[in-house]
Amino acid sequence: MAANGDNRRAVVRAAPFAVVPPPVVAHAVVRSRVLTLLERRWDHRVTTLVADAGFGKSIALGQALRANQAQPRGVEGWISCRSGAETPDRLAGSVEAAFGATSTSGPGDDAGPLARLQRVFADLAPVDASLVVDDLEALGPACVRLVDELLRRPPANLHVVLSGRPPLPALALARFRAAGDLAEITAEDLRFDDGESAALAADLGVPPLRQDLAGWPALVRLALSSPERAVGDYLWEEVVRTLGAADRRALLALSILGPSGADEVAAVAGEEVGFDPDVFCARVPLVHRAGGRLVAHDLWTPVRDRLGSAAEIDAVTSRAGAVVAQRGDPLAWGDFALRLGDVDGLRQAGVALVRSTLGSLPVEVAEVWS
């Protein structure tokens, strides 16, 4: 339900309290195209904002909330699941506080958390209300169920923004997607374009970037303001350390192999059974599918030695060499061996190249050279 002009005037009267938005980062680029995408939260029942750490989700949400304060389309409240959402009761209390509602969870009131949440928005009707739930990946199972129940029985004036790292907890979103009532914002939408990177460099008073950082906002900021090693450290601290062992091995295999089929990555990683390339790409940033192949960004190369022990890296490298050799392309095999400094593999690729070349010559010429 979109708020009309009369409702906007009602917002000012109905919400004299101050909504606390996400924190602001100095020198944050105002991202008009992202704000335009977030503006759709008022036209959809649910909006999801899903990307890995460092893509500027909270900053974008903070800018969107401040834009709504300047030109209100409804009442808005922001909560972080990292604090005040440890139990359903505390989550309900955080939502009540975000909207300036008086908690009724004391003695004499046996309303459960779901009823309390529904009452917050019922009391604001007919004014539209947007609940922004940030850091959703930190939410515990009981609180996930509470959010799910709210989505299954939402008040008519409620719009929910769910923001977090992939994959989001399992929530009842399919029916909103089917009805065209789900707005989905992804990492691709949050990547810096060249203009935004240049604007940040100008704001920081430094030369524009020459390195391809895939538009990852945190990496762009680090590269502009910190030593080169900071980029690798960030990938390690914020991404690699959060990956499970299977994802690390698959990423290691892909970074060694180069663009490869999912079956090859699984074989080299030792994950032939149960490896799902789509789930892998959703969990691991800077990895995507191109046709029938998986591709890892070059940014993973400098941190390859952090993806496993020396023994694991040696084992994966050996299996990768065997897979590349089986492709039947001696030139690609030689390039692979040269890239990894594999002298023995380079020699074998050279022999294979000579054999394949002789095989393409007329029989009488091949006999002379053999």
Using DSSP's 3-state secondary structure scheme, residue 258 falls into coil
DSSP 8-77: HHHHHHH--SPP-PPPPPTT----HHHHHHHGGGGTSSEEEEE--TTS-HHHHHHHHHHHHHHS-SSEEE
Specify the pTM. 0.76
Mean pLDDT of 337-359: 63
Strands 75-80, 129-134: pairing kind? parallel
Cα dihedral 205/208/211/214 (nearest 10): 100
One domain for residues 209 and 171: no
234 confidence band (pLDDT: 50, 70, 90): confident
345 confidence band (pLDDT: 50, 70, 90): low
Mean pLDDT of 233-245: 87
120 confidence band (pLDDT: 50, 70, 90): very high
One domain for residues 210 and 294: no
Kindly state whether residue 357 falls inside one of the protein's structural domains. no
Give the burial class of 326: count Cβ atoms within 10 A of its Cβ; 0-12 exposed, 13-18 middle, 19 or more buried: exposed
Give the burial class of 272: count Cβ atoms within 10 A of its Cβ; 0-12 exposed, 13-18 middle, 19 or more buried: exposed
One domain for residues 199 and 262: no
Provide the pLDDT for residue 6.
Answer: 44
Provide the pLDDT for residue 274.
Answer: 74
Choose one of 190, 214, 229: the last residue of a domain. 190
One domain for residues 209 and 274: no
CATH number at residue 151: 3.40.50.300
One domain for residues 144 and 267: no
Query: Which of 20-24, 113-117, 222-226 has maximum average pLDDT?
Result: 113-117
Q: Using one digit for the tens of pLDDT, what is the confidence trace for 163-192?
A: 999 888 999 999 999 999 999 999 999 999
One domain for residues 78 and 116: yes
Provide the pLDDT for residue 72.
Answer: 94
Provide the pLDDT for residue 353.
Answer: 59
Kindly state whether residue 207 falls inside one of the protein's structural domains. yes
Contact indicator for 319, 248 with CB cutoff of 8 Å:
no
One domain for residues 249 and 101: no
Examine the pLDDT at 276 and tell me if it is beyond 60: yes
φ, ψ of residue 27 to 5 degrees: the values are 65, 25
Provide the pLDDT for residue 318.
Answer: 85
> Could you give the number of structural domains in the chain?
3
Q: Which residue has the tokens 């909207």?
A: 99
Name the more confident of 324 and 216.
Answer: 216
Range of the domain at 215: 194-238
Choose one of 190, 219, 253: the last residue of a domain. 190
Provide the pLDDT for residue 329.
Answer: 64
DSSP bridge partners of 164: 50
Provide the pLDDT for residue 296.
Answer: 92
Listed range (64-73, 182-191, 224-233, 306-315) with the worst mean pLDDT: 224-233
Provide the pLDDT for residue 153.
Answer: 94
Provide the pLDDT for residue 68.
Answer: 92
One domain for residues 303 and 278: yes
Mean pLDDT of 277-296: 89
One domain for residues 162 and 262: no
Examine the pLDDT at 100 and tell me if it is beyond 60: yes
HSE, CB side, 13 Å, CA atoms: give it for residue 98. 28
One domain for residues 29 and 132: yes
Q: What count of other Cβ atoms lies within 10 Å of the Cβ of residue 315?
A: 16
Query: Which of 15-29, 92-106, 322-336 has maximum average pLDDT?
Result: 92-106
Alpha helices in 99-228 (DSSP H): 113-124, 141-152, 174-178, 187-190, 194-204, 217-225
Kindly state whether residue 145 falls inside one of the protein's structural domains. yes
Examine the pLDDT at 22 and tell me if it is beyond 90: no
Kindly state whether residue 66 falls inside one of the protein's structural domains. yes
293 confidence band (pLDDT: 50, 70, 90): very high
Contact indicator for 207, 201 with CB cutoff of 8 Å:
yes
Contact indicator for 337, 345 with CB cutoff of 8 Å:
yes
301 confidence band (pLDDT: 50, 70, 90): confident
Kindly state whether residue 353 falls inside one of the protein's structural domains. no
Q: Using one digit for the tens of pLDDT, what is the confidence trace for 142-168?
A: 999 999 999 999 999 999 999 999 888
* Distance between CA atoms of residues 225 and 26, nearest Å: 12
Of 76, 73, 80, 86, the residue nearest 57 (C-alpha): 80
212 confidence band (pLDDT: 50, 70, 90): confident
Examine the pLDDT at 350 and tell me if it is beyond 70: no
Contact indicator for 252, 313 with CB cutoff of 8 Å:
yes
Alpha helices in 288-329 (DSSP H): 310-326
- Element containing residue 367 per DSSP (H, E): helix 363-369
Provide the pLDDT for residue 64.
Answer: 93
One domain for residues 28 and 124: yes
One domain for residues 33 and 90: yes
Kindly state whether residue 297 falls inside one of the protein's structural domains. yes
Examine the pLDDT at 216 and tell me if it is beyond 80: yes
Kindly state whether residue 182 falls inside one of the protein's structural domains. yes
For 274, left (φ over 0), alpha (ψ -120 to 50), or beta?
A: left
Provide the pLDDT for residue 358.
Answer: 52
Provide the pLDDT for residue 192.
Answer: 92
Provide the pLDDT for residue 191.
Answer: 93
Q: Which residue has the tokens 């300047």?
A: 70
